[in-house]
Amino acid sequence: MSHTALELIELGAVFFGLGLLGRLAGRIGLSPIPLYLIGGLCFGSGGLVPLGDIGDFTSLAGEVGVVLLLLLLGLEYSAAELITGLRRSWTAGLLDILLNAAPGVAVALILGWGPVGAMVMAGVTYISSSGIVAKVLSDLGRLGNRETPVILSILVFEDLAMAVYLPILTALLIGVSFFGGLEAVAISLVVVSVVLVVALRYGRYVSMVVDSPDREVFLLKVLGAALLVAGFASALQVSAAVGAFLLGIAISGSTAENATKLLEPLRDLFAAVFFVVFGLNTDPRSIPPVLGWAIVLALATTVTKFATGWWAAQWQGIAPLGRARTGAALIARGEFSIVIAGLAVSYAAVPNELAALATAYVLLMAVLGPIAARVVEPVTRWVRSKVPTRAPAPSPGS
């Protein structure tokens, strides 16, 4: 059998297998991310049946998957919505960083991975999965609930925090000096600020450039622009993911809606490949030694993320049941945590055990998050029914 025929067979098997895993995830009501990671673990180095030489294609497809993930995330927000969300949630956002980055930092330092490993794990444990959270809220019919704007505002803050965090992390991973790191931070802040100003004042012109009544032309222009911006951003050490995210913010109105509908199937395809590639590059034999730490992180960050959501909802005057739903909805980690770990591994600046820990952690949290969101309401009602209510004080003369 020729080499090309073998590659086509293996690639076809990967895509077909992803389809089966995605259907299984839908049947059991979970995100497909953990199943994609498990699939990659089974067929990568040290897995059950290692795949042949399709690494060049899958690696590039995985990079495109990250770009599309962040592009569509940016398309969900306008610049005005981002600024409004930032004003509404900045206190809860700061608390979110302090509570949920700390466990990752602590474990990385305990394991001796140094400041760079601590910075990577801080991002892995900090950010919730916007994709999983949005799907859970939709599936449970909670998009119209009073607490949902609080959840979305925290997610917006986290996405903006990533726009600053990723360039800093990239600078650390490539080993630049302290002043080089400050330069990376300055560049990222300037780029984010300029994009927000352009999106607010001239977003319609950006939309006009990429828009087209022809679907084929529209797809080529949007995808081409995303890859160009991501490439230039990467060359400036701002991070390709951030470049795609900022382009998504700059595209607004009906153009953004049409681009989202057109790109969603491509996003799902290439993002699935990205998660599989991450699993392929992680030796499953490296997971058992760090599984205990993954469980510790899962338990700790479940509590800290729940506390973050509870406090943020309480700050907005939401009742206890809504506070509980807010905290539970934010628990899931997923695509961004893997993007951060994958970025670190690609620069070979962290131990291989970090990828294994991130994989095990995301597997746990991507499953635990949707389950917690489903059971939190009946559990909260049951707990409140068991707590004795205080009897009203007797009136004078009774």
Is residue 356 situated within a structural domain? yes
pTM of full prediction above 0.95: no
Q: Which phi and psi angles does 207 have, rounded to 5°?
A: -65, -40
Q: What is the pLDDT of residues 279-329, one digit of tens each?
A: 777 778 888 999 999 999 999 999 999 999 999 999 888 999 999 999 999
End-to-end Cα, the chain, rounded Å = 95
The two tokens of residue 108 are 């990385």
> Residue 111 belongs to what domain range?
56-380
Is residue 39 situated within a structural domain? no
Is residue 397 situated within a structural domain? no
Q: What is the pLDDT of residues 42-77, one digit of tens each?
A: 876 665 666 656 666 777 887 888 788 878 877 877
Number of structural domains (the chain) is 1
Is residue 398 situated within a structural domain? no
The two tokens of residue 158 are 């986290």
> Are the beta carbons of 25 and 37 closer than 8 angstroms?
no
CATH (domain of 226): 1.20.1530.20
Is residue 111 situated within a structural domain? yes
Most confident stretch, 6-10, 47-51, 245-249, 259-263 = 259-263
* CA diameter of the chain: 98
Is residue 5 situated within a structural domain? no
Q: Which phi and psi angles does 353 have, rounded to 5°?
A: -65, -25
Closest CA to 195 of 78, 32, 40: 78
Give dist(CA 130, CA 151) in Å, integer: 10
Is residue 74 situated within a structural domain? yes
Most confident stretch, 52-61, 259-268, 299-308, 381-390 = 299-308
How much is the average pLDDT of 87-115?
Answer: 91
pLDDT at 398: 41
Is residue 340 situated within a structural domain? yes
Measured between alpha carbons, how far is residue 347 from residues 117, 133, 147 in Å? 12, 29, 40
